[in-house]
Each structure stands twice: as C-alpha cells, then as structure tokens.
Amino acid sequence: MKKLILILSCAILSTSAVFAQKSALSQAKKDISSFTPNYKSARNAINGALTTAETKDNVETWYLAGKIEYTAYDQMLGENQIKPGASSDIDMANAIYNGNKYFEKALPLDSVLEVDNKTGQPKLDKAGNKKYKTKYSKEIKALLYGHLNDLSVAGSTFYDEKDYAKSQELWKKFVDLSIEGKGVKDVIQIPDSIIGQLSYYRGVAGYMNQNYADAIEAFELARKYDYDVKDTYDYALVCYSNLQDNDGIIKTAKLAFPKFGKEDSQYVSILINDYINNDKLDEAITMLDEAIAANPDKAEFYDVKGTICEQRNDMDNAIANFKKSIEIDPTYAKGQFNVGRYYYNIAVKKNDEAASDLTTRQLKEYFENEVKPYYEQALPYMEKAYLYDSENGDIKHALTNLYYQLGDEQKLKEIESK
C-alpha cells in the first residue's frame, strides 16, 4: 500500500510541474498581450519553460519567448522616442538578438501533422506525402520582416562593442531574410546594393571573429549583390591564408586580377608563384609580360621575371631584370639584394674554381684579380638592400660575409653588434 501511495505522489508531482509551466506560459502571454505590455514580468514567467523538459520542445514556448523580446525592443524604442537614452542601445540590441535566437528555435518546431477528423488518419497531399500545417510561423516571419532594419542596427551596436560574433549573426539574418523576402507581398524590398554592403560587413565581422569560412561566404555574397569592391577579395585572401587553403587563394586571385590587377600587384604575384610552384615557367613568363605591359612601373614584376630567368639558367636576362627593378625603384630592397646576390655568387663560384695546386701567394693574387672584384661589385647593392630592409636575415648574413671577405673589420664589427 505504501509503495502505491509513493507512485501516486510522484504522478501528482509530475502533473504539478506540467501545470506550473503551462501556467507560466499563460502568464507570459497575458503580460505581453495587455494594453501596456510588461516584458520584464513576461521574461521571468517564460524563463523556466525554456529549460523544463515538459515545455522546452514546445513551439509555443519559443514563439512566446521570441515575441517577448521583440515586444521589449518595441517598448524600449518607444520609450527612447519620448525620453532619449531611457533604454541603452546594447539592451535593445540584446532584445533583438535573443528574440531572433528564440524564433530560430521555434520555426523548426512549428510543424503540425494534419489529421482527418473522421478517420483519425494523416491527411495526404496530391503527391501522397503527409500534410503539415504551421501555427506560429506566419506571425514569426512577419515580426522578423517587420524588424529587418532593427536587425541591421543591432548588428552595428554589437560591432561597436566588439562583439563580432553577434554582429555577424544578425547581419547574416538580415541578408538571409532580405534575399528570402524578394518579391514577397508586404515585405520591404531591400536593394541589392544594401544586401551586398551588409554581406561585406558580415564578412568583416567574421574575419574579426576568426570565423573565416563564414567570412569568405559573406564576401562572395557581397560581390554577387553589387558590392564588388577590392576589400572583398583582400579580406578573402587573408581568410583563405589563415585556413591554409591554397586553392582558395588562387581562386580569389584569379577573380581579382582582371579587375584590380593594375592597382595591386599581389594578385599577379600569387598567380605567378602558383605557376612557378607547379613548374609552369612559360605560363609565368607570359603572365609577367602581360603584367609588365599593363604596369611598366612595378619593380617587383621585373624582379620576379629575373628570378624565373635565373631558374632557367638565363643569367643575362636575370641580371637585366634585377637591375631594371632597382632602376624603377632604388628603394626596392629585394631587387637590390638580387643584384648583389648575382655578383656575390659569381665571386663564390670563381673562388671555388681556383686550382688546388696554387701556392699561397698565387691564391692571394687569384683572389685579388678574379674574386675580389665581384665581391666589390656586390657590396653597394647589399648595403642598399640592408639600408631599406635591415630586418631581413638573408640580407644581413650576406652583407656580413661580404665585409669578412673584403677584410673590412670595422663594418664587420658594426653589423655584428646589431
């Protein structure tokens, strides 16, 4: 008998819990449906229902929670119109953000199977599939569409607060709803240019949030919707780089090069490096010649062409292109280094070719006449390279060796001390 009483007690407790949460839902509904909605009371009432097993999978719970937040936003907006600053921007942004999250939970749950009242069997459509109807989805979508601009503003608020994850989410929702609502009756039609611009901002927020995959998707969408600006490619390149996605880098550079290649050499450099890495030197030279024809004042193009000529063992054209790069830009450290390196390597080769049976005196004479002149030719270029890029370890190492080979102890000590 005692066991039976215990079981009955448990049943009563369970029923009470369900009743309590249903009562909370009723109270929340009452709070926001009154002439002067009390969203604070409604929030308290709905809070337990969001996590309680008996109600957390109920579409009405999440629908009400979302409606409460949107009601809160509208009320705070109205209060600010009467008394500016009555509610903070971040409180309003959080209301929009939370309302959106709750509606995202509600929509997938809002699917009710239609049943024939006579037979009790599911209704079927013409294709023989079960028919479903929704109860809250239409109102939820109306609230979301009616607050499109508010989603955008809330995203800006979070961005200013450096909460990039939330700004990214809200701008994505704005864009998704804007695209979804194209041609839909009673929905504000957002111009493609605005969709593109907000997609770009979403991408920047994603980049700041280190959500690189989503950022890349946003930049692609921005270009699709009339916001085809250079930054969408440059940010995408950095995102692909952080993801170590070389194919994505090449793809983006190919898209950017025809549009912005004249003003920025990084795209052609990426493509040329790809050709070089895949041993397609002819294609690399062809692209370089096209790039030089379009941008004759880009020093780095000549420098890269010189490197390719060097790989082909065409040293005459290699040094001609290296020198052309520093003729265009004397401060171009890499070009200065490559010219210096050209003469430095000749000196090393000459030194290695010295006969093994030479006497000490003959070796000294050979060095003075055959080797040293090339070290001396290399020196001014290496010094200029170091002047313009003193942090480059290769340049510093080469210059240190030059001072050693030329016996300049004072400059050797100076550079070693640095």
Q: What is the percent of the chain with per-residue pLDDT over 70, rounded to a whole number?
A: 95
Residue 14 has a pLDDT of 45
Residue 376 has pLDDT above 50, yes or no: yes
Per-residue pLDDT, averaged over 406-410, amounts to 91
Residue 1 has pLDDT above 50, yes or no: no
Using CA atoms, how far apart are residues 74 and 395, in angstroms rounded to an integer? Answer: 64
Residue 369 has pLDDT above 50, yes or no: yes
Higher pLDDT, 147 or 5: 147
For 5-49, the pLDDT digits (tens) are 444 344 444 444 444 556 777 787 787 777 777 888 888 888 888
Using CA atoms, how far apart are residues 72 and 43, in angstroms rounded to an integer? Answer: 9
Per-residue pLDDT, averaged over 74-86, amounts to 91
Inter-residue contact 316 to 347 (CB < 8 Å): no
pTM of this structure: 0.74
Alpha helices for 295-332 (secondary structure H): 299-311, 315-328
CA-based torsion, 116, 119, 120, 122: positive or negative? negative
For 251-274, the pLDDT digits (tens) are 999 999 889 987 888 898 899 889
Inter-residue contact 380 to 318 (CB < 8 Å): no
Using CA atoms, how far apart are residues 268 and 253, in angstroms rounded to an integer? Answer: 7
Using CA atoms, how far apart are residues 212 and 217, in angstroms rounded to an integer? Answer: 9
Inter-residue contact 305 to 292 (CB < 8 Å): yes
